[in-house]
């Protein structure tokens, strides 16, 4: 027979919107996010013995998310995730860990007649800012911040050659190709001792998100990329260098292929090599390249 070796439960897809109104300037700032709350602790009997006396209802977790959002800043999401998770481990004696995941959706201020509009916003793409915060009672708070679904493309400045060539290989060496990917990047912070330590670091969260995005864009655009692997490794190293509180950086990048189309069958139309202009974007299959670069602890000694 089996035994319960892991258990956590909670509310997923809690959608929250919050407006901040600056009465002096009559300017609004809005935030929208999707939250997942999962709790762990002395809850085994709810699974094994139908003992609901240990169950904080997932409905109450949803209510708590709204109340915490009303009573606390919800930006930066690292702070809100820590505040929300900390609440659960403080409030319930038998809950020893809270796992909070936040997906922040973009509402970018409109420019109207050349001026930033005080209360109108638009969704400028699918990119999300993401946070995973794991709050462990008495052991600190672990946070991974990140970017997901940031779709990028460069029309030149990317190569891929000198890879393994054997009896399974058809891909030719390429010295000029289209490179496109959907960036999923994250940076894991050194463990925070608790909510106060997160509050102390609060200015670093937006700063590091902005910097990581800038580094991603700059290296993607300016590098003569020899491979996705090498380019993402350099991005990781730059983010580590930019923020000393970051312990590790990870990227997961699909390689979204664009195939040349040979149109020579049509009156000798030239559309390959240096004449290639019309390509066929591929939806699948795609390459998928991942890495994590961790701070060399020896370097600090
Ligand atoms: O940057 C790349 N890395 C690979 O590992 C790979 N494999 C492949 O077919 N094309 C590419 N491109």
CA-to-CA separations, 36 to 1, 17, 77, in angstroms, rounded: 32, 15, 12
* 301 has a pLDDT exceeding 90: no
Per cent of the chain over pLDDT 90 is 98
Read off the pTM.
0.96
Atom of ligand 1 nearest to the CA of 231: 1
Q: What is the pLDDT of residue 185?
A: 98
Q: What is the CATH number of the domain that holds 113?
A: 3.10.270.10
pLDDT of res. 167: 98
**Cα of 293 to ligand 1 centre, how many Å?**
19
The residue whose two tokens read 């793409």 is 125
Q: Is 213 annotated as a binding residue?
A: no
pLDDT attached to residue 297: 78
R_g of the chain, CA atoms, integer Å: 24
How close is the Cα of 160 to the center of ligand 1, in Å? 7
d(CA 124, CA 251) in angstroms, rounded, equals 22
- Give the ligand 1 atom nearest the CA of 230: 1
- pLDDT value at position 18? 98
Question: Measured between alpha carbons, how far is 162 from 230 in angstroms, rounded to an integer?
Answer: 14
For the stretch 47-73, pLDDT in tens is: 999 999 999 999 999 999 999 999 999
Spatial separation of the C-alpha atoms in residues 81 and 103, rounded to whole Å = 11
Range of the domain at 91: 1-138
Query: Would you say residue 296 has pLDDT above 80?
Result: yes
pLDDT for residue 103: 98
Q: Is the pLDDT of residue 132 over 90?
A: yes
Instruction: Compute φ and ψ for 237, nearest 5 degrees.
Output: -65, -40
Q: With a cut of 70, say whether residue 238 has pLDDT above it.
A: yes
Substitution candidate for ligand 1 out of 233, 253, 289 with most atoms within 8 A of CB: 289
Instruction: Using DSSP, state whether 71 is helix, strand or coil.
Output: helix
Asked whether residue 47 is assigned to any structural domain, the reply reads yes
Residue 120 lies in a domain: yes
The closest of 15, 61, 59 to 38, measured between CA atoms, is 61
Residue 175's Cβ-side half-sphere holds a number of Cα atoms within 13 Å equal to 2
Query: Does pLDDT of 122 surpass 80?
Result: yes
Res. 96 pLDDT band, cuts 50 70 90? very high
Asked about 274 being catalytic, the answer comes back as no
> Does 154 participate in catalysis according to the annotation?
no
Q: In 57-88, which positions are buried (b, 16+ CB within 10 angstroms) versus exposed (e)? A: ebeebbebbeebbeeeebbbbbbbbbbbbbbb
Q: Is 296 helix (H, G, I), strand (E, B) or coil?
A: coil
Check if 287 has its Cβ closer than 6 Å to any atom of ligand 1. yes
Assess if residue 226 is contained within a domain.
no
In a domain, 257, yes or no: no
DSSP string across 183-251: EEEEEEEPPBSSHHHHHHTHHHHHHHHHHHHHHHHHHHHHS-BS-HHHHHHHHHHHHHHH-TTEEEEEE
- What was the pLDDT predicted at 299? 58
* CA–CA separation, 185 and 137 (whole Å): 28
Q: Is residue 119 part of a domain?
A: yes
Query: How many domains, in total, are found in the chain?
Result: 1
Q: DSSP state, 27?
A: E
Residue 93 inside a domain? The answer is: yes
179, 229, 287, 291: which to mutate for ligand 1, most atoms within 8 A of CB? Answer: 287
User: How does the average pLDDT of the chain come out, rounded?
Assistant: 97
> DSSP letters of 126-175?
S-EEEEEEEEETTTEEEEEEEEEEEEEEESSSB-B-S---STT--PPPBS
Residue 164, ligand 1, Cβ within 6 A: no
User: In degrees rounded to 5, what are phi and psi of residue 247?
Assistant: -95, -30
In a domain, 57, yes or no: yes
Q: Is residue 301 part of a domain?
A: no
């Amino acid at each position: 027979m089996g035994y319960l070796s892991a258990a956590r439960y909670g509310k997923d897809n809690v959608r929250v919107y919050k407006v901040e109104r600056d009465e002096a300037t009559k300017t609004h700032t809005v935030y929208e996010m999707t939250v997942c709350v999962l709790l762990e602790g002395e809850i085994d009997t709810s699974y094994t013995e139908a003992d609901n006396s240990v169950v904080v209802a997932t409905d109450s977790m949803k209510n708590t998310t709204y109340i915490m959002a009303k009573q606390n800043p919800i930006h930066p999401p690292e702070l809100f995730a820590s505040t929300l998770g900390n609440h659960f481990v403080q409030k319930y004696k038998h809950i020893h860990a809270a796992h909070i995941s936040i997906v922040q959706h973009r509402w970018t201020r409109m420019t109207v007649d050349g001026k930033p509009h005080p209360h109108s916003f638009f969704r400028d793409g699918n990119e999300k800012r993401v946070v995973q915060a794991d709050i462990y009672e008495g052991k600190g708070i672990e946070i991974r911040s990140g970017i997901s679904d940031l779709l990028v493309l460069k029309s030149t400045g990317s190569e891929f050659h000198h890879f393994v060539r054997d009896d399974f290989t058809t891909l030719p060496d390429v010295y000029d190709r289209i490179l496109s990917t959907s960036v999923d990047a994250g940076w894991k912070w050194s463990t925070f001792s608790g909510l106060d330590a997160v509050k102390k670091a609060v200015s670093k969260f937006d700063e590091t998100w902005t910097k990581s995005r800038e580094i991603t864009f700059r290296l993607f655009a300016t590098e003569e990329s020899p491979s996705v692997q090498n380019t993402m490794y350099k991005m990781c190293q730059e983010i580590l260098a930019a923020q000393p509180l970051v312990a590790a950086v990870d990227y997961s990048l699909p390689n979204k292929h664009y195939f040349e189309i040979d149109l020579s069958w049509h009156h000798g139309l030239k559309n390959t090599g240096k004449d290639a202009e019309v390509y066929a974007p591929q939806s699948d299959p795609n390459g998928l390249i991942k890495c994590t670069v961790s701070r060399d602890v020896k370097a600090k000694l």
